């Protein structure tokens, strides 16, 4: 009986000494947990146009999209600084006036999904806002390999500058 009493007294003594430390750690971890974020609606990317400056706002994924005029036709493009060339799919190439017969899919290129064959074309004109660039090298890939147009370095290097400022990408010519 004395052993049980000493056992319970020991437990109470340990709890009395350790309980403040445990409660303090618990309260700190609760205070450190962020409150659930409210649902935030992010507007679609906006293009601001200046004389020869265009600012693209990042979308929710941090991508920069814009409506480009390629050979006079509006095409939604995604800026990809990791792409060497502007890349379009075969359907877009046909829409831009490149015939299936003139597309020679013999050039091997490396993509995030591996090696594929592409055709080389030159886009006579690419525009966004007040920016106009001529003779842009591009690759055409099969539709199954690319769903959207990627605006790569073959366009960007023809600009005077491009830079990220906050959550915006500024293109300057």
Q: Are 123 and 96 in contact (CB under 8 A)?
A: yes
Same domain, yes or no, for 75 and 154?
Answer: yes
- pLDDT tens per residue across span 99-145: 878 899 999 998 888 899 999 999 999 999 999 999 999 999 999 99
Domain range holding 148?
Answer: 47-172
Same domain, yes or no, for 147 and 63?
Answer: yes
Kindly state whether residue 12 falls inside one of the protein's structural domains. yes
Handedness of CA 72, 78, 83, 87 (dihedral sign): negative
Among 38-42, 60-64, 84-88, the minimum mean pLDDT is found in: 38-42
Domain count of the fold of the chain = 2
Kindly state whether residue 38 falls inside one of the protein's structural domains. no
Model confidence, pTM? 0.70
User: What does the pLDDT read at residue 112?
Assistant: 81
Kindly state whether residue 41 falls inside one of the protein's structural domains. no
Residue 43 has pLDDT above 60, yes or no: no
Same domain, yes or no, for 58 and 134?
Answer: yes
């Amino acid at each position: 009986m004395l052993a049980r009493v000493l056992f319970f007294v020991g437990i109470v003594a340990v709890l009395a000494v350790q309980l403040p430390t445990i409660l303090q750690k618990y309260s700190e971890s609760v205070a450190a947990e962020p409150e659930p974020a409210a649902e935030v609606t992010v507007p679609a990317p906006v293009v601001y146009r200046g004389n020869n400056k265009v600012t693209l706002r990042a979308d929710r994924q941090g991508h920069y999209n814009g409506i480009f005029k390629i050979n006079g036709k509006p095409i939604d493009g995604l800026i990809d600084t990791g792409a060497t060339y502007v890349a379009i799919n075969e359907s877009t190439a046909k829409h831009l006036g490149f015939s299936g017969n003139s597309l020679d899919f013999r050039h091997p290129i490396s993509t995030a999904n591996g090696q594929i064959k592409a055709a080389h074309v030159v886009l006579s004109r690419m525009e966004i806002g007040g920016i106009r660039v001529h003779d842009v090298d591009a690759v055409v890939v099969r539709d199954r390999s690319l769903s959207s147009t990627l605006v790569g370095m073959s366009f960007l290097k023809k600009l005077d500058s491009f830079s990220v400022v906050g959550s915006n990408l500024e293109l300057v010519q």
